[in-house]
Structure 1
Amino acid sequence: MSKKILFMVSSTNVIGPKNRRTGNLLTEVAHPYETFKKQGYDIDVFSVKGGEAPIDMVELDDPTNKAFLADEGLTKFKNTTGIDKALVDNYDAVFVPGGLAPVVDMPDNPTVQNILSSMYDKGKVVSAVCHGPVSLINVKLKDGSYLVDGKKVTGFSIAEEMNYAKEDVPFELEDALKERGADYSCVAPWQAYSIADGRLVTGQNPASAQGVAEKVIAILEA
Structure 2
Amino acid sequence: MSKKILLALTSNADLGDTGRKTGFYVPEAAHPYRVFRDAGFAVDFVSVKGGAPPQDGLKDDDPVQREFLDAEGERLKSTPSAGEVDAREYDAVFYVGGHGTMWDLPDSRELARLAAEIYERGGVVAAVCHGPAGLVNVKLSDGSYLVAGKRVSSFTDEEEAAVGLDGVVPFLLQRRLQERGAKWEGGEKFTEYAVADDRLVTGQNPASAEKTARLVVEALA
Which of the five TM-score ranges fits, normalised by the shorter chain? over 0.9
CA distance in 2, matches of 1:99, 1:58: 11
- Corresponding letter in the other structure for 1:211: K
CA distance in 1, matches of 2:73, 2:36: 15
| Per-residue deviation, residues 171-203 of structure 1 (Å, max 9, x unmatched) | 100000000010001111110111000100000
| Per-residue deviation, residues 30-89 of structure 1 (Å, max 9, x unmatched) | 001111111121111111111101110432212211221222x22221221111111000
Match of 2:113 in 1: 114
* Bigger mean CA offset, 23-32 vs 109-118: 109-118
CA distance in 1, matches of 2:74, 2:203: 25
Match of 2:169 in 1: 169
Match of 2:157 in 1: 158
Match of 2:37 in 1: 37
CA distance in 1, matches of 2:20, 2:186: 26
Does the 8 Å contact 1:20/1:168 carry over to 2?
no
Does the 8 Å contact 1:150/1:182 carry over to 2?
yes
- Corresponding letter in the other structure for 1:3: K
Segments of structure 1 that go 5 or more residues without pairing to the other structure are none
Match of 1:12 in 2: 12
CA distance in 1, matches of 2:185, 2:213: 19
- Corresponding letter in the other structure for 2:2: S
CA distance in 1, matches of 2:50, 2:67: 24
- Residue 11 of structure 1, CA deviation: 0.8
The alignment partner of 2:107 has SS state of coil
Counterparts in 2 of 1:34-183, with a 5 A limit? Answer: 34-71=34-71, 73-164=72-163, 165-183=165-183
The alignment partner of 1:34 has SS state of helix
* Bigger mean CA offset, 137-146 vs 164-173: 164-173
- Residue 118 of structure 1, CA deviation: 1.1
- Corresponding letter in the other structure for 1:6: L
CA distance in 2, matches of 1:61, 1:167: 31
Match of 1:220 in 2: 220
| Per-residue deviation, residues 195-221 of structure 1 (Å, max 9, x unmatched) | 000100000000101111111111111
- Corresponding letter in the other structure for 1:131: H
Segments of structure 2 that go 5 or more residues without pairing to the other structure are none
CA distance in 2, matches of 1:13, 1:167: 18
Match of 2:191 in 1: 191
* Bigger mean CA offset, 108-117 vs 96-105: 108-117
- Corresponding letter in the other structure for 2:192: A
CA distance in 2, matches of 1:54, 1:31: 18
* Bigger mean CA offset, 40-49 vs 12-21: 12-21
4+ residue segments displaced more than 6 Å: none
